[in-house]
Amino acid sequence: MLEPAVNVMGCELVGIEFIPQGRRSLLRIYIDKADGVTIDDCSDVSHQVSGVLEVEDPIREHYTLEVSSPGLDRPLFKLEDFDRFSGRQVKLRLRLMVDGRRNFTGRILGVEGESVRLEVEGKPLAFAIVDIDKARLVPEF
């Protein structure tokens, strides 16, 4: 629903997070552009998306809308994101524990079917995309 509104502004919709916090929930929208995101881009997209959200009204509770660039520790939401950043380090948190843990850091080896392949501590592991709660690139300097 929001992707066309973001695209019209010349930006890519990277992903959306909804963080329930009682009366102060947060709807965070990540956008990107080839030449980088400016404060004006965030403001323009916020205005555009606000209009769509007012008309469609998909969230009944009160929330704050935040539009942001993905930053150096870019969140990864889709299989295409993992494929695009193959070879980079990523931190991910799973919805449920695997081998007694939920948090993993490793190098992205690629995507296979509906799974993300990582090298973690020298071992290849695969995680179904539906099992990943959060994933972020590790900034490399």
Alpha-carbon span 14 to 67, nearest angstrom: 11
Whether the Cβ atoms of residue 97 and residue 133 lie closer than 8 Å to each other: no
pLDDT value at residue 59: 83
Alpha-carbon span 57 to 63, nearest angstrom: 12
Alpha-carbon span 129 to 84, nearest angstrom: 15
Listed in order, strand segments (DSSP E) in the chain are: 12-19, 25-32, 63-68, 89-98, 101-112, 115-120, 123-128, 132-137
Alpha-carbon span 55 to 38, nearest angstrom: 26
Give pTM, 2 decimals.
Answer: 0.85
Long-range contacts of 45-50 (CB under 8 A, 24+ apart): 45/5, 45/6, 45/9, 45/11, 48/5, 48/6, 48/8, 48/9, 49/2, 49/5, 49/6
DSSP state for residue 61 in the 8-state scheme: S
Phi, psi of 53 (to 5 degrees): -65, -35
The gap from C-alpha 136 to its chain's centroid, in whole angstroms, comes to 8
Tens of pLDDT along the chain (141 residues) come to 899 999 999 999 999 999 998 788 999 999 999 999 999 999 999 999 999 988 888 888 889 999 999 999 999 999 999 999 999 999 999 999 988 999 999 999 999 999 999 999 999 999 999 999 999 999 988
Domains of the chain with CATH codes: 3-68 (3.30.300.70), 79-137 (2.30.30.180)
